[in-house]
Structure 1
Amino acid sequence: MTAFVLGSLIGFERQYRQRTAGLRTNVLVAVGAAIFVDMANRLGGHDGAVHVVAYVVSGIGFLGAGVIMREEGNVRGLNTAATLWGSAAVGACAGADLLLEAALGAIFVLAANTLLRPVVNRINRQPIDTLAVEVTNTVYVIAQTAQQKEALRLLESMLEAAGHGTRDLVVHAFGDDAVEIEAVLLATAVDGEQLDRLTRQLAEQPFISQAFWSPSTTE
């Protein structure tokens, strides 16, 4: 009964937000965990209950993996999977007659999904801390091998004229008769439109087949 009530509270919040695992799923997870732990506790005593709890923990991982989706490079459903994990823990506590722990667990799961939501939203709206996150911009030029030196000199002169210092300059083979030049810029403020114009001018050269730039972040 405790697992059913507490699982319903957790599931109601998930159902209200129309998540993948809603009311019924969370109730079933909590009640199922409680039944297995209670049965093991009665048949095998404390040691048996401990072993079943370990199996519940590993088994719920597969169920959580089922609600995690990957769409266009974005992972969704991690919070829902974590909530199922919490429901299983609440049910396991209820099955082991740890009713106070079960109630506290349900409160903490609900608090994480409700009270912390405004905090997360506020943090996500804040600008990125540039002291903690370094943005690295790299200019790529693909040119004919015979004109490698000419392309390299042109790239360096155009970057210098635009006020962009380079931290690293690497040349790789690109196919049989071409090279790829990577110019890693110093971590300073970069005007994207300026780099767009610069790469367009580079690409207009007859000995350069491609020119583009790409930003990346490292923490």
Structure 2
Amino acid sequence: MHALSTFDFLLRLATGVFCGALIGVERQWRARMAGLRTNALVATGATLFVLYSEAVGDASSPTRVASYVVSGIGFLGGGVILRDGASVRGLNTAATLWCSAATGVLAASGKLAFAVLGALTVLAVHFVGRPAGRLLDQAPAAGTDPDAVVEANVHLRCDRAAESHIRALLLQSLTASGLTPTGLRARRETPETTSLRASLSVSGDIACALEQVISRLSLEPGVRDLHWHLDEEEDVNQAMA
């Protein structure tokens, strides 16, 4: 094993500091807790520890010291993880510190090109992963698939004298909202009131689709009761009755 020269020491140390600082620029730009200096110092420390083992000439020491660096950075990363209510902040920053230490270990081991490639990869993950994560966050959740079609019912109780007007207004409101009724049933409950039930198929956001209909009909003076529900909810209510 050849002795580590001063030039090699400075070259590896400079590469480690550069890689850590390069990663830290992105964190500083995002105004995160661990910015340019913190990442540069983490990479510098990892580089110096491994360089020490290289300098003493122990062939097995660099690998052993690198494993200690990995575990030590875990404690440092834990200090930047904060709990904010039900959410946790700082996980990305902690992982970035870990990666900065890894680039320092690579630089100290003489793998300068690999260290630079590692730093560039970390930056790519931040710049590409951020918009990709936001895109995935906007994906429809379970049960909100815009292509999924569900059956809904609109129930309405009105004055019997206003039955014809309310029925026409109900159909008009559904059509204006882009909804097509699949059935309409009228039932006279008492001599004074009539119950109307409109069945329809809805895709996408059900509440948004029926909001205008409910808002429009609720303003009519002849309407006494107005609500909507899914067919599944009606089945459950009938089973519990």
Q: What range describes the TM-score normalised by the shorter chain of this pair? A: 0.5 to 0.7
Cα distance in 2 for partners of 1:91, 1:39 equals 13
Larger radius of gyration: 2
Specify which of 19, 44, 53 is matched with residue 32 of structure 2.
19
Cα displacement string for residues 87-122 of structure 1 (whole angstroms, at most 9, x for unaligned residues): 000001111111111011101110111122111111
Residue 7, structure 1, aligned to residue 79, structure 2: no
In the alignment, what sits opposite 1:38?
A: 51
In the alignment, what sits opposite 2:100?
A: 87
Report how far residue 164 of structure 1 moved: 1.9
Report how far residue 4 of structure 1 moved: 1.2
SS of equivalent to 1:70 = strand
Report how far residue 163 of structure 1 moved: 2.4
Specify which of 54, 58, 61 is matched with residue 71 of structure 2.
58
Change (3 A) 1:97 1:163: same
Cα distance in 2 for partners of 1:7, 1:161 equals 57
Identity of aligned residues (%): 48
- Normalised TM-score (structure 2): 0.54
- Normalised TM-score (structure 1): 0.60
SS of equivalent to 2:235 = coil
SS of equivalent to 1:46 = coil
In the alignment, what sits opposite 2:234?
A: 162
Change (3 A) 1:165 1:78: farther
Equivalent AA in structure 1 for residue 65 of structure 2: V
Q: Aligned runs of 1:173-212 on 2, under 5 Å?
A: none
In the alignment, what sits opposite 2:136?
A: 123
SS of equivalent to 1:18 = coil
Report how far residue 162 of structure 1 moved: 3.4
In structure 2, the gaps of 5 or more residues are 1-13, 145-231
Report how far residue 130 of structure 1 moved: 4.5
Cα distance in 2 for partners of 1:49, 1:124 equals 42
Cα displacement string for residues 157-192 of structure 1 (whole angstroms, at most 9, x for unaligned residues): xxx9832279xxxxxxxxxxxxxxxx9xxxxxxxxx
Change (3 A) 1:92 1:161: closer
Cα displacement string for residues 55-103 of structure 1 (whole angstroms, at most 9, x for unaligned residues): 0000000001000000111011101000000000000111111111101
Cα distance in 1 for partners of 2:21, 2:71 equals 23
Cα distance in 2 for partners of 1:118, 1:3 equals 28
Change (3 A) 1:95 1:165: farther
In the alignment, what sits opposite 2:91?
A: 78
Cα root mean square deviation, aligned: 2.3
In structure 1, the gaps of 5 or more residues are 132-159, 167-182, 184-219
How many residue pairs were aligned?
140
Cα distance in 2 for partners of 1:58, 1:25 equals 17
Cα distance in 2 for partners of 1:99, 1:122 equals 35
Cα distance in 2 for partners of 1:36, 1:83 equals 19
Equivalent AA in structure 2 for residue 93 of structure 1: L
Cα distance in 1 for partners of 2:123, 2:59 equals 29
